[in-house]
């Protein structure tokens, strides 16, 4: 099953090389991103495609077609998938892997100040605060 997306990707890539245009390429890119989000959500929930189909009130064959990455999903279907899975499917921007939390300024010794200065020289575009 895990080889399936790669197989589809090769078929898609070959087709795009021969017939593609920017609109079609973007459509397929978005469609694959959405189906991958659904696949990851199903994996996280421990659901099979059949269980997902049942939760959606759909036939398993229809859900398989959706998850192929080649089906033109409707806004209504996407919205229902979002509600059933509890995820955002329409935002295809990658989720940040880390989030930062500002804990306040820590007054420290010269060692902390030196580390902060060293880091700022390494990453000058980042605003840094050294915290313990």
Secondary structure class of 111 (helix, strand, coil): helix
**86-105 confidence digits (pLDDT tens):** 999 888 666 666 666 655 56
**Top-confidence residue, 38 or 108:** 38
Do 16 and 10 touch, CB atoms closer than 8 A? no
> What is the C-alpha end-to-end distance of the chain, expressed in Å?
46
Is the predicted pLDDT of residue 128 greater than 70, yes or no? Answer: no
What tens digit of pLDDT does each residue of 31-61 get? 888 999 999 999 999 999 999 999 999 999 9
Query: What is the CATH architecture assignment of 4-85?
Result: Orthogonal Bundle (1.10)
Q: Measure the CA–CA gap between 95 and 17, rounded to whole angstroms.
A: 29
> What's the whole-number mean pLDDT along residues 118-129?
60
User: Does residue 132 surpass a pLDDT of 60?
Assistant: no
Q: What is the rounded average pLDDT for all residues in the chain?
A: 77
- The alpha-carbon radius of gyration of the chain (Å, integer) is 22
Whole-prediction pTM: 0.56
**Range(s) of the chain covered by CATH 1.10.260:** 4-85
Rounded-to-integer distance, Cα 113 and Cα 25, Å: 50
- pLDDT tens for 58-71 read 999 999 988 887 78
């Amino acid at each position: 099953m895990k080889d399936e997306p790669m197989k589809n990707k090769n078929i898609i890539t070959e087709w795009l090389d021969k017939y593609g245009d920017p609109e079609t390429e973007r459509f397929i890119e978005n469609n694959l991103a959405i189906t991958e989000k659904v696949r990851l959500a199903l994996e996280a929930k421990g659901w099979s495609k059949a269980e997902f189909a049942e939760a959606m009130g759909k036939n398993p064959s229809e859900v398989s077609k959706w998850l192929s990455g080649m089906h033109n999903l409707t806004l209504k279907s996407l919205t229902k998938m979002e509600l059933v899975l509890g995820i955002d499917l329409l935002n295809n921007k990658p989720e940040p892997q880390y989030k930062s939390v500002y804990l306040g300024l820590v007054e420290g010794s010269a060692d902390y100040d030196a580390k902060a200065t060293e880091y700022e020289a390494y990453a000058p575009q980042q605003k840094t605060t050294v915290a313990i």
